[in-house]
Amino acid sequence: MTQQLFCQGLTRAMKTLEVIYRTRFADEKMKKLIRQNKGGTFHLCTAGHEMVGAVAASALIPGKDWGLAYYRDRGFAIGIGCTLTEIIAASLARDIPHHSSGRMMPEHFSHKEFRLPCQSSCVGSQFLQAVGVAKARQLLKEDDVVYVSAGDGATSQGDFHEALNFSLLHKLGVIFVIQDNGFAISVPIKDQTAGGSIAYMAEGYPGLSIFDVDGGDYEELTKAFDTAVQKARGAQGPSLIVAKVPRIGPHSSSDDQNKYRTIKCIASDQAKDILPRMENHLVGLGVSIDEMQKMKNRCFEEVEKAAVEADQIPFPIADTAADHVFKKSVIEDFQLQKTSKCPLESIVMMDGLNHALDEEMQYDSNVVVFGQDVAHGKGGVFGITRKLTEKYGSSRCFNSPLAESSIIGVALGMSIAGIRPVVEIQFADYMWTGVNQLFNELSSFHYRSNAEWHCPVVIRMPYGGYIQGGPYHSQSVEAILAHIPGLKVVIPSNAADAKRLLKMAIRDPNPVVFLEHKALYRQRVFCASPEPSEEELQAFGIAKYVRKGADLTVVCWGMMVFMASQIADRLLQDGISIEVIDLRTLVPLDLDLIVQSIKKTGKLLIAHEAVRTCGFGAEIAALIAEEAFDLLDAPIKRVTAKDCPVPYCKRLEDAVLPQIEDLEQAIHQLARF
């Protein structure tokens, strides 16, 4: 038995050496190809880091376990099964099925078969996503292990510490791996990390297993990874492996480390190269130098052959550059269907939203709700998620830490691993601490992965003013959200639409930001409506006529729909017939209905609660100027908030936000033109 174990260990060690050879030769080859202007202009050096990823890959099960490997972890990608041809082709920005097909920079690994979610360039953003993957697999009762790696500089990001906290709260099977080469580009560890090591700092996290190891010591690394994998597989929680590795090359092809490192320092690291150390280790185990040389020669030839193959792969077709911003939904063309002929009980918006969540959680066991204060008796600050924990359990409706980046990053990870998260940001004003995960990660994940991955996430956000909330509870942020490709933006104005749209959002395969005007939650005038049946959904991108008219068109959403509806009859008494259009969704936008209305009225007024400058009304005005200018009989007019934060004092708030009187006055002015 001892001999058998020795042979198995030797085989694994030889496989690790093989991965190191392939990774090192690929590194050297890609540098040459960059200089030859073969298609890429950027190269990231991995020399000295290879053993950590190679050993990690040997400890995991390809196709079962997950790897969110950072851009210097080519050893892991090759070790887990990615081909040399594709790795090199990605460096050359060629059209290949995996690793983004030219959409991302080199070393941003993405391969669904090997469960490598799409990596980004934002340092440390993958930590929370890895935690989300692990949480999803835990909910699905799988024993998958999630590997996530980064450099030492990434531990300065708040997402790293948020990820440790979340993974420990939920005892998730995550292995955090820090490949510490002592520098974050040019910034040394002494300027990055208090105490000189993240391993020392992380000792304050209870329940976290910490391994502070030499990244060039095969036995030490193997023992650390095997122990961490066993812990993760046994649902015992996360581990942190901090592997010290030599900084042999520069940060990237655009970096010159001679500008910030001494010759002696560089030479010292080069003398610690992990490759000869591994070769010497295997000699000690009885492997002949001749056998290793044959392996070395074979790996070199494999890299050379792969480079030729990669260079023959064409570049992506320019016409495909804008493909895959959204994943097409199989229910995009779903039409409203009434299944009950009996009038149902009238509900307000907060009830419609609560019932939509309840019905979708009943419909799909993979729908999970979490966020700040959403669980148990409170059910969110506005009570939208009330009774969901009691009905579906704390595994499907639970509280998150008070950390918006955690909420969105974890939701992203969950969404790519089999769960449909519906998360709540307590107020839209607080989304900014999660904006990196929202804008740089979630919105572009499908695009960056060349459609390999998609993220069915719904982010619910109460927004808007009129109930004296002050600067941090009252802003309207829809224009900024609509500016980000890959996000769908939904804003209901009444209970029936709120229920139908939220149900559609949960079933959509793309990220949806669902904005709920908090002043309309309990509003009965106009906003209350008979409750739609369980089977009713509302397709996105279809605006509706709230009121038909002949003299001018009012395009609005949210609170402004409520206001316009309130003054329609009064304006009719003044001889002005307005046509009110509720957009319901800003992305996608129903421009056709707006144009159709202008053909009849010849005049357009756009009303929104957000600030005037760069508000979404400006985009609508520009589109109409481009597409339907000849239909207009008057200049386009806007009613908006002032370019000012929303203040707390009610008198000041009223002065900043558009009022019914402002809307009515603007309509009179436009009607007289």
Cite the active site residues.
473
Would you give the distance in Å from CA 7 to the centre of its chain? 44
Of 627, 347, 624, whose CA–CA distance to 492 is shortest?
347
Residue 188 DSSP SS3: strand
Of 588, 590, 592, 607, whose CA–CA distance to 658 is shortest?
607
CA distance 504 to 535: 11
DSSP state, 385?
T
CA distance 205 to 242: 15
Tell me which H or E stretch contains 66.
strand 66-68
- Amino acid at the residue 531: E
Residues in the chain: 673
Structure tokens at 231: 């812990």
CA angle centred on 399, ends 394 and 401, rounded to 5°: 140
Residue 184 DSSP SS3: strand
If you search the block for the tokens 């740089």, which residue do you land on?
A: 440
Q: Taking a C-beta distance cutoff of 8 angstroms, is the pair 527, 562 a contact?
A: yes
CA distance 74 to 26: 9
Q: Taking a C-beta distance cutoff of 8 angstroms, is the pair 421, 415 a contact?
A: yes
Q: Answer positive or negative: Cα dihedral of 609, 615, 620, 622.
A: positive
Residue 67 DSSP SS3: strand
Q: Taking a C-beta distance cutoff of 8 angstroms, is the pair 527, 495 a contact?
A: yes
CA distance 386 to 26: 55
| Phi, psi dihedrals of residue 408, rounded to the nearest 5° | -75, -45
Structure tokens at 33: 């190809």
CA dihedral 265, 268, 269, 275 (to 10 degrees): 160
Return the percent helix, strand and coil in the chain, to nearest 5: 45, 15, 40
Longest dimension (CA), the chain: 99
